[in-house]
Structure 1
Amino acid sequence: MGAADIVPGVSGGTIAFITGIYDTLLGSIRAFDLECLRLLLRLDIRGAWAHVNGTFLLCLLAGIATSVVSLARLIAWLLEHHPVPLWAFFFGLILASALVLLRQVRGWTATRAACLLVGVATATAIALAPALNLHFGLPGVFIAGFLAICAMILPGISGSFILVLLGMYGTIIGALKGLDLAVIAVFAVGAAAGLLCFSRLLYWLMHRFHEPTMAMLTGFLFGSLLVVWPWKQVLVWTTGSDGHPRPAQQVPVLPGEFHTLTGQDPLVPLCVVLALGGLALVWLIDHRWGGATREARTG
């Protein structure tokens, strides 16, 4: 999940879903409630730990933090020097994830089909939207954390891509690389606030309207394929926090047009291989871990 969340266009929620821990994750986050506070005030640390499924969250957060810290530099380097092959790999990853979710929607109806289309339209609108500028100090960092975390737990909506749209991606990646504790702390507080608010809504939707919600989440994944399409034309540029130009709005194009526009080799054979690798990886994760976890949960 940490590796996925670093890349603009790839959602950590997607990884949680295909590995079968999504419901457990939402339930654990939702458990930070008044009952948890009551247990803490009574100094019942063990009870509070069990109430929020603390062991699960600790292992998950440790894995995410390790991945973010260790991969931030590598992902930033790949995005700068080899973006097309990297996007091709994630295109295959997300396409396979969308097919996994599509298979889990049981009993298609007109309402569920409409939810699927709403999800596709929403993700498409986000993917093609121009970037904003949220650079007004630590309050902007807090708002960015609040909004990005909501996307991070949604399959198909990338928290990192939301940061790009808000004009805050370079700021946050720079803070992680430079260990700017003030920015990291404010971002974490905003993320925690957003997580506590949004997870309750999503948990309620998942348990009250499970199939329509699943259909909409599947639509989010299909729509987000526009974000990770390897060949893009930049329509609008912006200046990043490092002073270098960054794409603020892009649209997908065919490999031949990409070559004409940029003069770069579209690397089609390599991209096809990497996309197939992403498909195979998701199939392996879903086959080995996701299926077993879902069977254990339903059993």
Structure 2
Amino acid sequence: MEWKNLYRGLLMGISDLIPGVSGGTIAVVLGIYDRLLDAINGFFSKDWKRHLGFLIPLGIGVGAALLALSRVISYLLEYHKGPTQFFFLGLIVGVIPLLWKEADAKNHFKVPHFMMIFIGTVLVASMAFFTPDKTGTPITELTIQNGIGLFFAGWLASMAMLLPGVSGSFVLLLIGVYPTAINALSTFNIPLIAVIGAGVIVGFIVSSRGIRFLMVRYGYMTYAAIIGLVLGSLAVIFPGFAMSTVHLVASVITFVAGITIVTLLGKQSK
């Protein structure tokens, strides 16, 4: 068992609770993105046993973060949104040089790759103009009708979670399921967690195969798309500067802390 994946899973789980931050981005920072895709694909092959040592500790870490820290994240976003968002902005800014080096963009990117970066940036940044309802009444009782919708919501969100720069939480916000998901985690509503979680698992299986195929067949273009998605997520998560001097100073500190943490984790992953 790769027990160091516990802390990696915790970091990925925390990021997946934040609208605008992707667990895939954190996986890139930690240097495990390729292995994550391979392990998810390999788990459903004849060699599934050899991937358990990687996936089980990672899954425990993600699950622990989702269950234990959902209230903490909700509190921070409600009462300290600026500094919290700037911390994750720092994480995202810090990951861009890592992606650039990983893709060896200096030697391999041509005009089509930069066009793909632009397209990815615009697509994700455009989400910043959506104003989803964050205060909607959460679903608390499972029925056949809402269960089907929640299953496919989890499926859609998980496909976004695996893509660096695309936030599964923000997708849930856009389709109005985020309040339900956070409330289910906070209150430990097993039926709702199970249905959404089943959708997440199916989405992981489908999307991991698709992303793996693209990275093998069109590696540099896929990296260009991912860099664009990450750049675009900056616009989605940016909270603005309408805050007090104290919050502004705190935001600068958390922003620098985010970049520093990514830099340190990037060096460690090597």
Fold match by TM threshold 0.5: yes
Greater helix content:
2
Structure 1: where are the runs of 5+ without partners?
Answer: 37-46, 232-254, 292-299
- Asked if 2 retains the 8 angstrom alpha-carbon contact of 1:69 and 1:176, the reply is yes
4+ residue runs over 4 A deviation: 132-136
Distance 2:131 2:75 in 1: 24
Using the aligned pairs only, state the percent identity. Answer: 34
The aligned counterpart of 1:124 is 125
Aligned residues: 248
Distance 2:13 2:92 in 1: 16
- Asked if 2 retains the 8 angstrom alpha-carbon contact of 1:101 and 1:218, the reply is yes
SS in 1 for 2:75: helix
Distance 2:248 2:193 in 1: 38
Matches within 5 A, 1:1-299: 1-33=12-44, 35-36=45-46, 48-50=48-50, 53-106=51-104, 107-131=108-132, 137-231=146-240, 255=241, 258=242, 267-289=247-269, 291=270
- 1:133-165 Cα shifts (integer Å, max 9, x gaps): 997611221111000001111111111111111
- Asked if 1 retains the 8 angstrom alpha-carbon contact of 2:14 and 2:69, the reply is yes
Question: How many angstroms does 1:104 deviate by?
Answer: 2.5
- 1:195-252 Cα shifts (integer Å, max 9, x gaps): 1111111000011111111111011111000122132xxxxxxxxxxxxxxxxxxxxx
Larger Rg: 1
Normalising by structure 1, we get a TM-score of 0.78
Distance change in 2, residues 1:266/1:115 (3 Å): farther
Structure 2: where are the runs of 5+ without partners?
Answer: 1-11, 140-144
SS in 1 for 2:98: helix
Distance 2:226 2:64 in 1: 27
Which structure carries more relative contact order (alpha carbon 8 Å, separation 6+)? Answer: 2
Distance 1:121 1:228 in 2: 14
Normalising by structure 2, we get a TM-score of 0.86
Distance 1:112 1:55 in 2: 36
- Asked if 2 retains the 8 angstrom alpha-carbon contact of 1:150 and 1:195, the reply is yes
- Asked if 1 retains the 8 angstrom alpha-carbon contact of 2:20 and 2:237, the reply is yes
Distance 2:146 2:245 in 1: 40
